[in-house]
A and B are shown apart, each in its own frame.
Chain A
Amino acid sequence: KAGVTQTPRYLIKTRGQQVTLSCSPISGHRSVSWYQQTPGQGLQFLFEYFSETQRNKGNFPGRFSGRQFSNSRSEMNVSTLELGDSALYLCASRGGTDTQYFGPGTRLTVL
Chain B
Amino acid sequence: AQSVTQLDSQVPVFEEAPVELRCNYSSSVSVYLFWYVQYPNQGLQLLLKYLSGSTLVKGINGFEAEFNKSQTSFHLRKPSVHISDTAEYFCAVSSNFGNEKLTFGTGTRLTIIP
A interface residues, Cβ below 8 angstroms from B: 4, 6, 31, 33, 35, 42-43, 45, 48, 50, 55-56, 58, 90, 92, 94, 98-105
Inter-chain CA distance A6–B42, complex, in Å, is 12
Contact A98 B96 (CB under 8 A): yes
Inter-chain CA distance A22–B51, complex, in Å, is 30
Do A104 and B46 form a contact, CB below 8 Å, given A45-B103, A58-B101, A94-B100?
A: no
Residues of B contacting A94 in the complex (Cβ-Cβ under 8 angstroms)? 100
Contact A42 B101 (CB under 8 A): no
Contact B46 A101 (CB under 8 A): yes
- A75 to chain B: closest CB distance in Å? 18
How many chain-B residues does the 8 Å CB contact rule pick out?
Answer: 23
- B51 to chain A: closest CB distance in Å? 6
Q: Does B87 contact A (CB under 8 A)?
A: no
**Dominant secondary structure of chain A at its interface with chain B:** strand
Closest residue of chain B to A44, judged by CB? Answer: B104
Do A99 and B100 form a contact, CB below 8 Å, given A42-B106, A42-B107, A43-B90?
A: no
Inter-chain CA distance A6–B49, complex, in Å, is 24
Contact B90 A48 (CB under 8 A): no
Q: Which of A56, A94, A100 has the most CB of B within 10 A?
A: A100
Closest residue of chain B to A6, judged by CB? Answer: B43
- A21 to chain B: closest CB distance in Å? 13
Closest residue of chain A to B51, judged by CB? Answer: A98
Contact A100 B100 (CB under 8 A): yes
- A72 to chain B: closest CB distance in Å? 14
Inter-chain CA distance A82–B18, complex, in Å, is 43
Residue-wise, chain B 17-58 has the 8 Å CB interface mask toward A (1 for contact) of: 000000000000000101010000011111001010000000
Inter-chain CA distance A42–B38, complex, in Å, is 13
